[in-house]
Structure 1
Amino acid sequence: MSNSSAPKRPSRASHVGSLLRPRYLFDKRKALEAGECLPDDLKPFEDEAIKQVLKLQQDVGIKTVTDGEMRREFFFEGVFDKLEGMTYLPTRPIATFKQYIPHCNMMHAAGIEEAETIYCSGKIKRTRPFYLDEFLYLKSLVPPEDVKHIKLTICSPSWFHQRHGSDLTYDLSVYKNDDEYFDDLAKAYREELRELYDLGCRHIQIDDPTFCYFCNESMIVGMEKAGVDHEALLDTYIRAINVITEGRPDDLIMSLHMCRGNYKGGIHYSEGGYGRIAIKLFNTLDVDVFYLEYDTERAGDFTPLKQLPLGKVVVLGLVTTKNPKLESAQELKARVNEAVEALCQGNLKRSRDVALDQLAISTQCGFASVWEGNPLTEEDQRKKLSVLVETARQLWPDDSY
């Protein structure tokens, strides 16, 4: 665990990571998908788009900035596909995708017979970096004093495991069990984190849809029918992240975003409040910050926040990225005050000031977790980011945003 007892946090107003692709990059990516250009042809368009979305964040006053994931097709791209020991399978039978996993269940229900995935066929090794070049490019665009405010997003180590389970994720002659698999995966992640840190990165966010799946009653029922111990698997996924974050430098913020799905058009896969996992997750997962989705009723109420220990921060994802309806500062402040009340009612008593200090606000998810993005315009996106900053200035007038 990190030795620092004071809460570490991003800026009071932030966004999860991905942003809408500007039209010129959107059109070029569409041309790539149609086979009309090569991947390398995208780079100058991506470079320009990163400059544009960085300026957007700076203009509206958001201090914790990302590159908007402009170079990615999917949010999880750039990790498993770069690891030695991982094999890309363009057509794997749908029977190897666990039906109890919400997004896999949708594929089964749609009658899909096979889908692309990645399978662990050999010992995992990081022989090339994941995102060093991406970080260095964004670093080159900000003043030296702002490099510490760059946030880099990375997919969870459980991403492919959750869809295939403990029996079909890796070759059993290579890894005998999940701990062996995740230990080697964690070593690769730690190598990446160390190099990013040495280059100046001070905030890394793990994007994880899997934990919210454990809040979904239908998945729990499905796992029980399949004979899968869901509590043991939850422990496995917590451990998988803890092995990555252990021994990190005290000034490196590790955050976790828990997602209920954000596919083309903002489609969600899962629902259910955090109550099922709150005690275990908030108290045993070794991260500094939790980005929690709270934009709709399917996320539940703030009661689970009572389990949050001191020294941790929750970023309330109150502004939706799934539609253009604009939230008001007044309603956002009211919801933050509800969250403060929940924190104050926890087993660990705390004052309203302490509770408020443990909070920040953000979008509930990315605007474009896949390159096509959600059904909003760039102007809608700007307005939503602006209202976050406006609200933060009213709630935390002495802070930077």
Structure 2
Amino acid sequence: MTISNLTKRKTAPFRFDNVGSFLRPLRLKEARDAFAKGAIAEEELKSVEDAAIEELIEKQKEIGLKAITDGEFRRSWWHLDFMWGLQGVEKVYVDEGYKFADVETRAESARLTGKLGGSGHPFIEHFKFVNRFADAEVIARQTIPAPAQFLAELHRPDNREATEKFYPDEAELLEDIAAAYQTFIQELYAAGCRNLQLDDCTWGMIVDEEFWKDMNADFTVEDLSRKYVDLNNKAIAGSPEDLVITTHVCRGNYRSTWASSGAYDTVADVLFGEENVEGYYLEFDTERAGGFESLSKVSGDKVVVLGLFSSKLPELEDKEEIKGRIEEAAKYIDKDRLCISPQCGFASTEEGNDLTEREQWEKLELIRETAEEVFGK
């Protein structure tokens, strides 16, 4: 397929796209630290956040992104802050953080304090702020952790006792997670959102052989795949037709390290064939994600955003090599259903990856140039 007969995408995902988070500027980090120590008031922190987000949005527009976000600048984590904002959930400090290849994260988690609810979430106001800057050329995108990711958090050893206390019947837990998400989605839509991204590391976790060695479980990858896809689908069921819902899958992203390895093959039938999303942002920047063969399982006319560029490293990828990988992927899925992006955000947590803000924008500039040369402007 030549550039001339590739469709110019008018809705998300876009040919040149981004997963969501950006490196926090120093003044924002300092303000968050000062607020945590009680040195400044919440209003002062918000003022710094607002200014930093406005500047970030301008940069996103300048570089050509068609979906803008707040860079997750008001969050500490890509997932936990959302969970803490749900009714019936509290922030807790636990014995151990998440284990990554070269480091352990801060030891924080989300634990149940009662039955779940999703109304009045603080992210609604966060989205409204970003949506003020949407225009005829760009949309405002909201990113949140997938329902399956929340379930996995509640099943961490430190949290299991509380989870079973309030939900001795897991079927009721699954129903309430889905209902809380549905409430949030309805309120987010009413606030003007038309593009929601569900970030989901559960799939990267369950394809990892080391995960199963540590589990000693009486369930299989097929069992978990079915539970996760059913929960995700139930949570987004009944969403408005003009709300584009996508999902992002990776294998961990913390201070330029990773948490898991494994190809998509063992979950492809369920994840790519049955999850009711309109697009997948998929990690493909290293051999840890396997090959492209599983893309043949992507059902219907769903779009795949190839995460061929590393947000973990400052080094720029070879443009011609990337083009070759796009052509390789196109052997398994129509090239017209492909887009490109980094494999993950630049700062899934407030610590951020080990590169500079300048290097972050240079990386995105390369992705834009590559997308224009492959797919057209």
Structures share fold, TM-score greater than 0.5: yes
Question: What is the alpha-carbon distance in structure 2 between the residues aligned to residue 141 and residue 389 of structure 1?
Answer: 21
Q: What is the one-letter code of the residue matched to 2:361?
A: R
Distance 1:7 1:305, change over 3 A: farther
1:334 deviation in Å? Answer: 1.4
The partner residue of 1:363 within 317, 342, 347 is 342
Question: What is the alpha-carbon distance in structure 1 between the residues aligned to residue 90 and residue 56 of structure 2?
Answer: 33
Question: What is the alpha-carbon distance in structure 2 between the residues aligned to residue 166 and residue 238 of structure 1?
Answer: 19
Contact 1:8–1:313 (Cα < 8 Å) also in 2: no
**Is 1:81 the equivalent of 2:84?**
yes
Distance 1:221 1:389, change over 3 A: same
Contact 1:294–1:300 (Cα < 8 Å) also in 2: yes
The partner residue of 2:121 within 125, 129, 139 is 129
RMSD between aligned residues: 2.6
Equivalent position of 2:4 in the other structure: none
Equivalent position of 2:66 in the other structure: 63
The partner residue of 1:24 within 24, 27, 45 is 27
Question: What is the alpha-carbon distance in structure 2 between the residues aligned to residue 338 and residue 211 of structure 1?
Answer: 23
Equivalent position of 1:198 in the other structure: 190
The partner residue of 1:150 within 140, 154, 178 is 140
1:384 deviation in Å? Answer: 0.9
Question: What is the alpha-carbon distance in structure 2 between the residues aligned to residue 320 and residue 105 of structure 1?
Answer: 17
**Is 1:262 the equivalent of 2:253?**
yes
Equivalent position of 1:325 in the other structure: 315
Question: What is the alpha-carbon distance in structure 2 between the residues aligned to residue 47 and residue 93 of structure 1?
Answer: 34
SS in 2 for 1:196: helix
Equivalent position of 2:352 in the other structure: 373
Equivalent position of 1:352 in the other structure: none
Q: What is the one-letter code of the residue matched to 2:117?
A: K
The partner residue of 2:263 within 250, 273, 281 is 273
1:275 deviation in Å? Answer: 0.9
SS in 1 for 2:89: strand
Distance 1:105 1:361, change over 3 A: closer
- The one-character-per-residue Cα deviations of 1:155-212 (angstroms, maximum 9, x if unpaired) are 1223343245398165435323333112111111111111221222111001111111
Equivalent position of 1:181 in the other structure: 173
Contact 2:100–2:257 (Cα < 8 Å) also in 1: no
Contact 2:284–2:343 (Cα < 8 Å) also in 1: yes
Contact 1:8–1:288 (Cα < 8 Å) also in 2: no
Distance 1:34 1:334, change over 3 A: farther
SS in 1 for 2:81: coil
Question: What is the alpha-carbon distance in structure 2 between the residues aligned to residue 164 and residue 198 of structure 1?
Answer: 28
Contact 1:119–1:169 (Cα < 8 Å) also in 2: no
Q: What is the one-letter code of the residue matched to 1:135?
A: F
Contact 1:319–1:364 (Cα < 8 Å) also in 2: yes
**Is 1:341 the equivalent of 2:331?**
yes
Contact 1:261–1:270 (Cα < 8 Å) also in 2: yes
In structure 2, the gaps of 5 or more residues are 1-8
- The one-character-per-residue Cα deviations of 1:37-72 (angstroms, maximum 9, x if unpaired) are 344432111111111111111111111211111111
Question: What is the alpha-carbon distance in structure 2 between the residues aligned to residue 256 and residue 181 of structure 1?
Answer: 22
User: How many residues are paired up?
Assistant: 367
Contact 1:254–1:288 (Cα < 8 Å) also in 2: yes
**Is 1:294 the equivalent of 2:284?**
yes
**Is 1:37 the equivalent of 2:40?**
yes
**Is 1:243 the equivalent of 2:246?**
no
TM-score when scaled to structure 1?
A: 0.84
Distance 1:196 1:216, change over 3 A: same
Question: What is the alpha-carbon distance in structure 2 between the residues aligned to residue 357 and residue 254 of structure 1?
Answer: 19
In structure 1, the gaps of 5 or more residues are 1-5, 98-102, 344-354
Equivalent position of 1:304 in the other structure: 294
Equivalent position of 2:367 in the other structure: 388
- The one-character-per-residue Cα deviations of 1:262-308 (angstroms, maximum 9, x if unpaired) are 11x22211011111111111111111111100111111111111211
Contact 2:274–2:299 (Cα < 8 Å) also in 1: no
TM-score when scaled to structure 2?
A: 0.89
Equivalent position of 2:218 in the other structure: 227
